[in-house]
């Protein structure tokens, strides 16, 4: 079950990131490197974490014209990323060209193809914000499902979505479609800025493929123990 747990390294220095990676590499499945860390210390952080034995989920949420995103996808593939993200709202052509670029690059370099994930609706966005500020009037769950189906039809491996939408995505996209869920908060942790959240046990029971957890692990005095507590909660979800 630990392979399903991804730790978000939402820190700003190489030293903090590698300290956490050293403490956690054998207790979790992968590490998420997002915009904060990547833009603070540069792309070499990916290989630094890999050198410690950790798999890296590069979460830069690409969203641009199809050619730009497909070329960026080639670069991230060449870095040996375990996973990376682009926005489903970028459209079918953008996702199709990126999926093809990843397949071609992995074949040319004879490396394992990364999992390509489409971002749906960020877990920090509530229904009120979605309607009044983003300007989309349909329920978040309906929009998430539409983007998940579009991603699947474009050759994308899975989506990043709130745990609240897991069941609807599973129903629409089937058992093999990958669902990565941030917004995971154990009962003993603060929700912080996440709005659509769920416990590790609940998310696993609903069918999440991977869970992304940041501060409930990284902000703890003993992050390894916190990670193990979450893995235990995930195992309870499987056996419930």
**For position 31, which CATH number holds?**
3.20.20.70
Say what the pLDDT of residue 153 is: 98
Query: According to the model, what pLDDT value does residue 196 have?
Result: 55
97 is catalytic: no
Q: How many domains does the chain have?
A: 1
Is 90 annotated to bind a ligand? Reply is: no
**Rounded Cα–Cα distance for residues 83 and 57 (Å):** 4
| Regions in the chain scoring below 70 on pLDDT | 189-196, 240
pLDDT value of position 158 = 98
Determine the structural domain holding residue 109 and report its residue range.
2-239
- Distance, in Å, from the CA atom of 204 to the CA atom of 102, rounded to the nearest integer, reads 28
Establish whether 65 is an annotated binding residue. yes
Contacts 24+ apart (CB under 8 A), 184-189: 184/211, 184/212, 184/213, 184/216, 184/230, 185/216, 186/216, 186/229, 186/230, 186/233, 188/216, 188/229, 189/215, 189/216
* pTM confidence score: 0.93
* pLDDT reported for residue 142: 97
Any known ligand binding at 63? yes
Per-residue confidence (pLDDT) for residue 124, from 0 to 100: 86
* Rounded Cα gap, residues 35 and 27, in angstroms: 24
Identified catalytic residue from 2, 16, 61, 79:
61
Confirm or deny that 123 is annotated as ligand binding. Answer: yes
67 labelled binding-site residue: yes
């Amino acid at each position: 079950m630990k392979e399903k747990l991804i730790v978000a390294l939402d820190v700003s220095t190489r030293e903090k990131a590698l300290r956490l990676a050293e403490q956690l590499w054998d207790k979790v499945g992968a590490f998420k490197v997002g915009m904060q860390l990547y833009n603070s210390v540069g792309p070499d952080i990916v290989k630094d974490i890999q050198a410690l034995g950790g798999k890296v989920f590069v979460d830069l949420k690409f969203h641009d014209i199809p050619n730009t995103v497909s070329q960026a996808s080639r670069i991230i593939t060449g870095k040996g990323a375990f996973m990376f993200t682009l926005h489903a709202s970028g459209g079918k052509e953008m996702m199709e060209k990126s999926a093809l670029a990843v397949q071609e690059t992995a074949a040319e370099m004879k490396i394992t193809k990364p999992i390509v994930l489409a971002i749906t609706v960020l877990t920090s966005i509530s229904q009120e914000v979605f309607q009044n500020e983003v300007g989309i009037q349909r329920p978040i769950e309906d929009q998430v499902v539409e983007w998940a189906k579009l991603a699947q039809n474009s050759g994308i491996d899975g989506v990043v979505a709130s745990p609240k939408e897991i069941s609807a995505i599973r129903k629409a996209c089937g058992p093999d479609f990958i669902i990565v869920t941030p917004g995971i908060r154990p009962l003993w942790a603060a929700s912080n800025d996440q709005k659509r959240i769920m416990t590790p046990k609940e998310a696993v029971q609903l069918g999440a493929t991977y869970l992304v957890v940041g501060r409930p692990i990284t902000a703890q005095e003993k992050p390894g123990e916190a990670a193990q507590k979450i893995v235990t909660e995930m195992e309870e979800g499987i056996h419930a």
